Amino acid sequence: MGGQIEGLSKLDLEGKGLQRYDLQYSGLQYFGAMSASIAHEIKNALAITNENAGLLEDLSLISIKNGQPLDSERVAKLSKKMMDQIKRADNIVKKMSRFAHSVDDPVKVVNLSEVVELTLELGRRSASTKSITLAPVCCDFPISIETNPFLLMNLLWLVIKSAFRRVNSDKKIEVELSKSISKDNKKGDVNIIIANLLPYNLSCQCEEENQKELIIMLGNLLNLNIDMNSEDKIIITISQLTK
Amino acid sequence: MRILLVDDEADYVSTLAERLSFRGIDAQWALSGRQALKYLETEKYDLAVLDIKMPKIGGIELKKEIQKKYPNMKFIYLTGHGSEDDYQKGVADSVHYLIKPVNIDDLIKMMKKVMEGKD
């Protein structure tokens, strides 16, 4: 199943006044938060490389001083550690590049599971500071959708962040993708399910009101239906036309 | 000088501890706030070098926990950010901080300065 999201031929923000500002600000906040997290990860990789290079230098100086050869096994291990960190930093930069390019086109055909996985990968550090694990996306089939990738990632992240308050004792948030096709085979739904959550607590409603409004606003803009009141999950539904 | 390094990056903190030991500094390392607090139950340290951003207990929170039991212990924060926010947190806490990647000589200079109680 592939296809076009109903009604999303262009993003129409005209005449939405304050809402437009809210969305832009939310987008900037998301971009800023993810950029800071990426910068932090790169700094960590650089810091480890720096210490390993420094240790290599220390060992060289000690070996000269003592008139003993360098331990080649140790040198090889340190080199491997440095290469691992370079690989780690390169992966982070690749993610950053994909994220940065998500704003290139207002509407684009994307692989949904890739977009969701990138959102989770970028958000993992932020979640881990709250001891929350974001499990890999559970999806074994490709789903192409036409959407605004950046706004979809922003929405998904807002939803996942709202789920932080509802994590179970294992503090693990699961994200699944599923699809269903209507009986007449003309219409299909794709669901992004944020699962393994505690029941929705109505007492949280006031605190979350602003965030919820933003989520609904983004959902409307992207023609998505968001059910945040389910017992143990949040469901984002994308209605598609089948080809 | 006996120091405790706390950072969730094992490769970073273990290598830094080894390099400090080459310079005559007795450094032990922990990968989490919880592990650091456990070490503190049996070991004595003069100074703790804490990463600000760590899962579960961050450096700032950990410092508060440690200070409850060991009010005379000294601290240095390590951060990957180097943001205005981190600077303000350090100032508010009267704690010196260094931005990763650190130069080991700068770290040792700062350790000595902190131990001597100089600004």
B35-63, pLDDT tens digit by residue? 999 999 999 999 999 998 888 888 999 99
Least confident range of A16-25, A70-79, B16-25: A16-25
Q: Domain check: are A74 and A186 in the same one?
A: no
Instruction: Please state, for a pLDDT cut of 90, what percent of chain A lies above it.
Output: 57
Q: Do A47 and B12 touch (CB under 8 A)?
A: yes
Render pLDDT for B65-102 as a digit per residue (tens, 0 to 9): 999 999 999 999 998 765 656 666 656 666 788 989 99
Contacts A–B by Cβ distance under 8 A: 59
Contacts of B18 in chain A (CB under 8 A): 55
Long-range CB pairs of B93-97 (<8 Å, 24+ gap) are: B93/B60, B93/B63, B95/B63, B97/B52
Whether A49 and chain B come into contact, CB under 8 Å, resolves to: yes
Q: Do A44 and B54 touch (CB under 8 A)?
A: no
**A residues 121-140 closer than 8 Å to B (CB):** 128-131
Q: Do B9 and A47 touch (CB under 8 A)?
A: yes
Q: Compute the distance between CA of residue A210 and CA of residue A226 in angstroms, rounded to an integer.
A: 15
Residue A2 pLDDT: 41
Residue B8's closest chain A neighbor by CA?
A44
Q: Domain check: are A124 and A230 in the same one?
A: yes
Q: Domain check: are A204 and A100 in the same one?
A: no
Residue A228 pLDDT: 83
Nearest chain B Cα distance for residue A63, angstroms = 12
Q: Compute the distance between CA of residue A6 and CA of residue A19 in angstroms, rounded to an integer.
A: 22
Q: Do B11 and A54 touch (CB under 8 A)?
A: no
Q: Domain check: are A85 and A114 in the same one?
A: no
Residue B24 pLDDT: 96
Structural domain boundaries, residue A41: 15-104
- Provide the token pair at A118: 């990138």
Its CATH class, for the domain covering B2-115, is alpha beta
| Three-state secondary-structure class, residue A189 | strand
Render pLDDT for A37-87 as a digit per residue (tens, 0 to 9): 999 899 999 999 999 999 999 999 999 999 999 999 999 999 999 999 999
Q: Do A85 and B11 touch (CB under 8 A)?
A: yes
Q: Domain check: are A84 and A153 in the same one?
A: no
Asked if residue A206 is part of any domain, the answer here is yes
Asked if residue A2 is part of any domain, the answer here is no
Asked if residue A5 is part of any domain, the answer here is no
Residue A4 pLDDT: 41
Q: Domain check: are A83 and A147 in the same one?
A: no
Last residue of a domain, one of A72, A104, A136: A104
- 8-state DSSP, B114: H
A237 sits in which H/E element: strand A234-241
Q: Domain check: are A200 and A125 in the same one?
A: yes
Asked if residue A37 is part of any domain, the answer here is yes
Whether A196 and chain B come into contact, CB under 8 Å, resolves to: no
Least confident range of A85-99, A163-177, B15-29, B78-92: B78-92
Q: Do B100 and A36 touch (CB under 8 A)?
A: no
Last residue of a domain, one of A89, A104, A119: A104
Q: Domain check: are A151 and A235 in the same one?
A: yes
Last residue of a domain, one of A51, A78, A104: A104
Q: Compute the distance between CA of residue B34 and CA of residue B14 in angstroms, rounded to an integer.
A: 17
Q: Do A44 and B9 touch (CB under 8 A)?
A: yes
Whether A46 and chain B come into contact, CB under 8 Å, resolves to: yes
Q: Of A209 and A153, which is predicted with more confidence?
A: A153
Q: Domain check: are A76 and A180 in the same one?
A: no
Mean per-residue pLDDT over chain A, rounded: 85
Note whether A60 and B25 are within 8 A (CB): no
Q: Do B101 and A49 touch (CB under 8 A)?
A: yes
- Provide the token pair at A16: 């939405």
Q: Compute the distance between CA of residue A161 and CA of residue A26 in angstroms, rounded to an integer.
A: 13
Q: Which region, left, alpha or beta, applies to residue A208 given φ > 0 means left and ψ of -120 to 50 means alpha? A: alpha
Contacts of A43 in chain B (CB under 8 A): 80-81, 99-101
Is the pLDDT confidence value at A201 over 70? no
Whether A79 and chain B come into contact, CB under 8 Å, resolves to: no
Q: Domain check: are A29 and A122 in the same one?
A: no
Whether A48 and chain B come into contact, CB under 8 Å, resolves to: yes
Q: Domain check: are A79 and A161 in the same one?
A: no
Residue A5 pLDDT: 41
Q: How many domains does chain A have?
A: 2
Residue A58's closest chain B neighbor by CA?
B19
